[in-house]
A and B are shown apart, each in its own frame.
Chain A
Amino acid sequence: MAKTLVQEFTKGLWAEIPPFRLVLGLCPTLAITNTLENAYGMGVAVTFVLTFSNILISALRKIIPPKVRIVAFIVVIATFVIVVELVMQAYTYALFLKLGIFIPLIVVNCIPMGRAEAFASKNGMVRSALDGLGLGLGYTIALSVLATFRQVIATGAITIYETPISLFGPAFEPFRFLVEAPGAFICLGLMLGLMNILGKK
Chain B
Amino acid sequence: MRELINMVVVLTGISLASGGLLASLRENTQERIDQQVLEFVKGPSVRSVFKDATNDPIATRFQLKDGEAVRTLFVGEIEGAFRGVALEAAGKGYKGEIGLVVAIDTQTGKVIGINVTTHSETPGLGAKAKTDPAFAAQFKGAPVSGPAKVTQDGGSINAISGATITSRAVAGGVSNAFTIYERLKPQIEQKLKEIRK
Q: Which of B1-16 contact A (CB under 8 A)?
A: 3, 6-7, 10-11, 14-15
A1 CB-CB contact with B under 8 Å: no
A196 at interface, CB cutoff 8 A: no
Assess whether A68 is in contact with B22, with CB atoms less than 8 Å apart: no
Q: Which residues of B contact A67 (CB under 8 A)?
A: 3, 7
Contact A68 B29 (CB under 8 A): no
Q: Which of B33-41, B65-73, B74-82, B98-106 contacts A (4 or more CB under 8 A)?
A: B33-41
Check: B197 CB closer than 8 A to any chain A CB: no
Task: Judge whether B7 and A83 touch: CB under 8 Å.
Answer: no
B21 contact set on A, CB distance < 8 A: 79, 83
Contact B11–A72 (Cβ < 8 Å) = yes
Q: In this assembly, does B32 line the interface, its C-beta being within 8 Å of a C-beta of chain A?
A: yes
By a CB distance below 8 angstroms, the chain A residues around B26 are: 86
Q: Does A82 contact B (CB under 8 A)?
A: yes
A79-B22 in contact given A65-B6, A67-B3, A97-B40 (Cβ < 8 Å): yes
Q: How many residues of A contact B (CB 8 A)?
A: 22
Asked if B190 is at the interface of the complex by the 8 Å CB criterion, the answer is: no
Distance from B87 Cβ to chain A, minimum over Cβ atoms (Å): 23
Is A87 part of the contact surface with B, judged by Cβ < 8 Å? Answer: yes
A91 within 8 A of B: yes
The smallest beta-carbon distance between A80 and chain B, in angstroms, is 9
Interface flag for A108 (CB, 8 Å): no
Q: How long is the Cα–Cα vector from A82 to B21 in the complex, in angstroms?
A: 10
Instruction: Point out the residues of chain A lying under 8 angstroms from B33, CB to CB.
Output: 86, 89-90, 93
Q: Is B18 an interface residue (CB 8 A)?
A: yes
- B14 in contact with A60 (CB, 8 Å): yes
Q: Are A68 and B7 in contact (CB under 8 A)?
A: yes
Which listed residue (A63, A76, A91, A93) contacts B18, Cβ 8 A? A76
Q: Whole-angstrom distance between the alpha carbons of A64 and B10 in the complex? A: 7
Which residues of B lie under 8 Å from residue A82 when comparing CB positions?
Answer: 22, 25
Query: Which residues in B have their C-beta under 8 angstroms from that of A6?
Result: none
Q: Which residues of B contact A71 (CB under 8 A)?
A: 11
B29 partner, pick from A78, A79, A87, beta carbons under 8 A: A87
Complex Cα distance, B39 from A68, in Å, reads 43
Asked whether, in the complex, the Cβ of A72 is within 8 Å of the Cβ of B10, the reply is yes
A residues 43-77 near B (Cβ < 8 Å) are 60, 63-65, 67-68, 71-72, 75-76
Known A-B contacts A65-B3, A93-B37, A94-B40; A76 and B14 likewise in contact (beta carbons under 8 Å): yes
Residue of B nearest to A60 (CB): B14
Q: Mark A158-177, 1 if CB is under 8 A from B, else 0.
A: 00000000000000000000
Chain B residues engaging chain A, CB cutoff 8 angstroms? 3, 6-7, 10-11, 14-15, 18, 21-22, 25-26, 29, 32-33, 36-37, 39-40
Residue numbers of A with Cβ under 8 A of B are 60, 63-65, 67-68, 71-72, 75-76, 78-79, 82-83, 86-87, 89-91, 93-94, 97
